[in-house]
Amino acid sequence: MNDDVVVREGTLADFDAGVRLVMAAVAENALVPPDYPRLLEHVYAALTRDHGIAGVIGEPGGELEGAILLRVGQVWYSSEPVLEEKAIFVAPNFRSAKGGRARKLAEWGKMASDRLGLPLAIGVLSNARTEGKVKLYERMFGPPAGVYFLYGGKTGTVVQPPEGSA
C-alpha cells in the first residue's frame, strides 16, 4: 500500500469501481433501503460533471480505495447553488493503512468547493464510529453548524444489496 495517497477527479472510467464502493457505503451506513437506479444516477452524474463531481483514490479504471461524491443542489429556502456531500467513504481494507485517506478526501472536498466557488455542506450521518468522524471534520472544517438526530431509525441496519447489483 502506498503512503503517497492522491485524490484525483473521478471520470467515467471509474464508474464500475465507484458503484461498487458506493454499494459498500450504502450496505454499511444506509438509514433506509436504497433506490439503486437513483444511486447509479448520482454516481454517473458526479463522474460526468453533471451538477456534481467526485474525488477518488485509485488508478483510473481500477479498484478504488475511497471516494467523495459531491452534487450541486440547493437548500430548501433558496435557489442559490451549494455543493452537497452525498458520500465520503474509505474501503474497509484501507482504513488502517497509512496515508490518511478520509482526511485527504475531505481536503479534496474543500478544494472542489473553493474551485467551484460554492459553499460545501458536509456532515456525519452515522451511528458507527461517529466520534472519530466528527473529530476529523472539526479539524478539517471547524466547529459544526448543527447536528443530526435520528428518531425511529438507525444507520447501518439496511440489508445487503441484491445479487448482481454491484
Domain of 47 in residue numbering reads as 8-141
1 found inside a domain: no
Whether residue 62 contacts residue 70, with contact meaning beta carbons closer than 8 Å, is answered with no
- The partner residues of 69 in beta bridges, in order of sequence, read 54, 87
45 found inside a domain: yes
12 found inside a domain: yes
156 found inside a domain: no
Burial class from Cβ neighbours inside 10 Å (0-12, 13-18, 19+) for residue 136 reads middle
Closest CA to 56 of 98, 88, 97, 20: 88
36 found inside a domain: yes
d(CA 62, CA 160): 23
pTM: 0.87
Q: Find the CATH number of the domain harbouring 19.
A: 3.40.630.30
What digits encode the pLDDT tens for the residues 37-86? 999 999 999 999 999 999 999 999 899 999 999 999 999 999 999 999 99
125 found inside a domain: yes
135 found inside a domain: yes
Q: How many domains does the chain have?
A: 1
